[in-house]
Amino acid sequence: MPLVKTWQLIAGSAVAGLALSVATVAASGPWDSGQRKAERDRAASWSLTGGADHGADGPGGRPVGLPQAAPSAPGVLSGLSGLSARSGDAPGGAGKQAPAGSDGLAEALRPLLADPALGSTRAASVIDTATGRVLFESKPREAMTPASTIKIATAAAALAALGPEHRFRTTVTPGAAPGQIILVGGGDPSLTAKKKPPAGSGGSLVALAADTAQALKAAGIESVDLGYDDSLYTGPARHPIGGNPNLAPVTALTADEGRPDNSSSGPVERVEDPSLETARAFAALLKERGIKVTGAPAKAKAAADAEPLATTLSTPLGGLIERMLTFSDNDIAEALARQTALASGQPGSFEGIEKAVSAKLAGLGVDVAGTRFADGSGLNRADRISTGLLTALLAKAADPQRPELRPVLTGLPVAGFTGTLRGRNAGSSPAAGLIRAKTGTLGGVNSLAGTVVDPSGRLLAFALLAANTPGREGAEKALDKLAAAVARTP
């Protein structure tokens, strides 16, 4: 049965429009910490007179008058929920003969792809996720610097290695010396020291301290020496680009992404030694619970067979993937890339990432020729990936036979709606709510890759890479026009 076109959902009633939006969002699955929760919160926050109206604004930014027909999230979500019901060739078969109707897409995209704002080198790929058929391509196998769109590959590799329900452990174990305990980092990027954890947070130092204090008091211990073990990761903690407000030093024991303030996303200067700061925070929490910590926390090595006194678990991997993609979280990306390396028998380092991610993606049956995964976040300009690989991975994530990869799609920001796409193809754009995509931005590099529901209800995967762009704003507008053209071309 063909999917309902979003622009056919006429908002004749603001109340009905709100109910439809909430119901459609709720149908997309359980609410984790990332994209789906953001969509639910946004839908629930719409006022009865606001809905999806993009008309004149009244007090507080609320639209005035009756809502006008406008696209919103239902087109995206129904496209995802309808995947399992669709038939055709197996997804991911890039390179197959293009079906009828692709000539119109090529006619629409070629002049837009020639925009000088896209720099000297640009590549594109558009495929039907249900059949794997190529609808449009331009240099689809040319490996280019992808910026943050590489997080799609990082997500797919991590899910293939560990599965969406996997959780990372932060533990406290007895130390080798009498009266010593060791805080052991398990590489949980959701670990927080906040007494009021952020929504959807995972590992809690507060809960871990409470459980540890209870175990110590039960054993008659009221004073300890505190060591900390962050040896799970190896190699340099600093990214090759050096200190950067977009990424903390990568350690296996980091609370709140090494942020010294109350922020949860966006650039901010990070602490110099996240492991030490996390151990200090844990020591303070123990003291609040009646356990005296003698001296300053010091590095130590936990015994491999030590029985934990207490444990706290991360957000499930699927939720971490969604948050990473929605907010383009570099800290989560680097942590998950290292976890992929460790799960693949490689060291938890930048060197291990390069070997493991490529191997995991090849194991999914996609072509990784010419690729390089120098990091997991896309901050490294040495990264190389092709548009053909990106669309193949998105098609794999859409494959009903690959449900473990679905967070790759559900985590993508929605145009005009959530995350890094909230302000792009928004407002009166006919593509608002129809495009779900990961952005990528470095100086002179701009990219966009994701999915879109076309006028016939097909879920398409697209990827656009541009190099040597003269300016961010112009390049982003050009990429948005291309994505919008995919959404509205039959």
CA terminus-to-terminus distance, the chain: 17
Check residue 22 and give its pLDDT. 31
Q: How far apart are CA 396 and CA 93, in angstroms?
A: 9
Check residue 102 and give its pLDDT. 67
Check residue 42 and give its pLDDT. 41
Catalytic residues: 148, 151, 328
Per DSSP (E only), the strands in 286-373 are 292-293, 298-299, 310-313
Backbone region of residue 112 per phi and psi (left: phi > 0; alpha: psi in -120 to 50; beta: other values): alpha
Could you say which DSSP state residue 122 is in? Answer: E
Check residue 54 and give its pLDDT. 31
Check residue 80 and give its pLDDT. 54
Q: How far apart are CA 230 and CA 234, in angstroms?
A: 9
Indicate the length of the chain as a whole number: 490
Q: How far apart are CA 250 and CA 275, in angstroms?
A: 9
Check residue 27 and give its pLDDT. 34
Q: How far apart are CA 37 and CA 60, in angstroms?
A: 24
pLDDT tens, N- to C-terminus, the chain (490 residues): 333 333 322 222 222 332 333 333 333 333 233 444 444 444 333 333 322 223 333 433 333 443 333 334 445 555 555 454 443 444 444 444 444 346 889 999 999 999 999 999 999 999 999 999 999 999 999 999 999 999 999 999 999 999 999 999 999 999 999 999 999 999 999 999 998 877 667 899 999 999 999 999 999 999 999 999 999 999 999 999 998 999 999 999 999 999 999 898 889 999 999 999 999 999 999 999 999 999 999 999 999 999 999 999 999 999 999 999 999 999 999 999 999 999 999 999 999 999 999 999 999 999 999 999 999 999 999 999 999 999 999 999 999 999 999 999 999 999 999 999 999 999 999 899 999 999 999 999 999 999 998 998 899 999 999 999 999 999 999 999 999 999 999 8
Alpha helices in 344-430 (DSSP H): 350-363, 387-398, 407-410
User: Is the Cβ–Cβ distance between 261 and 268 less than 8 Å?
Assistant: yes
Q: How far apart are CA 450 and CA 12, in angstroms?
A: 31
Taking the model in full, what pTM does it have? 0.83
Check residue 264 and give its pLDDT. 87
